[in-house]
Amino acid sequence: MGLVGRLLGHRSASDVFAHIAELDSARAVSVQSQPPAPPQLSPDGKFWWNGQAWVPVGAAQQQQRSGRSGCWIVAGIIVAVLLTIGIISFAVSGGSGAGHNTSKTAISTDSQYRGTAIVGVVSDFDISVKNGGTTDIANVTILFDDGDRFLDHYTVLTSGPCTVDKSLPGLSCGPLAHGDELKFTMTAQPRDAGNFTFKFHIGDGKLWLDEADGKGYAYSWTQAIVS
């Protein structure tokens, strides 16, 4: 295995440089224990015979220095590669799967709403959630955590078996066994006039749940609230 292969077998940059230092130390000991025979010099003392050609005096020292610097250049390249891999890994591991439940749950949902509402007048919202996965959902939640936050503009009056939990923010509806369906009507009173895009996720606690296709969705509707 060559120098690059040996260096890549180490796990960190410090190990790479330590290995290079060991090689140089071993080489120095070998040179001191077995001093080379004096080279055959030319009559003018400017060249020496290497067995195949006349080489200028000092070329061997230059070659040795180049060899050692080459080792450090290779080590530097390998360290740069290791650092790059670490950054890529960090970037990849930092952007995956945050906020999603990875259990074998699969939900489907349906809702009905009105396109317009009047401030102070109660509106009805029909919501259904079905657990089509293979595991139970510990606590089904309707998370108003995206778009124009529903709870910032509406006061919930009734929500079937669910209770308002502003820390979510949304509705906490309790457990839902696999194969079961939750249906209820939420009544709420708008407080603010304006054009809104309300969005929500279906979750298990604060973790979003995916549908049967393995994808998570934000469910939304637009509504004009007039005074």
**Which domains are delineated in the chain?**
3-94 (no CATH), 107-226 (2.60.40.10)
Sign of CA pseudo-dihedral 34, 40, 45, 47: negative
CA gap 186, 59 in Å, rounded? 89
Residue 164: its pLDDT value, please? 97
**For residue 171, with 0-12 CB atoms within 10 Å meaning exposed, 13-18 middle and 19 or more buried, which class applies?**
buried
**What are the residues whose beta carbons fall under 8 Å from the beta carbon of 211, sequence distance 6 or more?**
106, 107, 108, 217
Residue 120: its pLDDT value, please? 95
Residue 182: its pLDDT value, please? 94
Express each pLDDT in 202-223 by its tens digit: 999 999 998 888 888 889 889 9
State how far the alpha carbon of 218 is from the alpha carbons of 128, 131, 144, 199, in Å: 15, 17, 10, 6
Residue 97: its pLDDT value, please? 35
Residue 103: its pLDDT value, please? 52
Residue 62: its pLDDT value, please? 52
CB 110 within 8 A of CB 128: yes
Cβ neighbours of 124 (radius 10 Å)? 12
Question: Among 121, 201, 200, 203, which residue's Cα sits nearest to residue 154?
Answer: 121
Residue 94: its pLDDT value, please? 31
Residue 106 gets which letter from DSSP?
-
Helix axis angle for 59-94 and 13-33, nearest 10°, is: 160
CB 112 within 8 A of CB 219: no
Per-residue pLDDT of the chain (227 residues; tens, 9 = 90+): 444 444 444 445 455 455 555 555 555 444 444 555 666 777 777 777 777 777 777 655 555 555 555 554 444 544 343 434 343 333 333 333 335 554 566 777 776 778 899 999 999 999 999 998 889 999 999 999 999 999 999 999 999 999 999 999 999 999 999 999 999 999 999 999 999 999 999 999 999 998 888 888 889 889 999 99
Residue 43: its pLDDT value, please? 76
CB 220 within 8 A of CB 197: yes
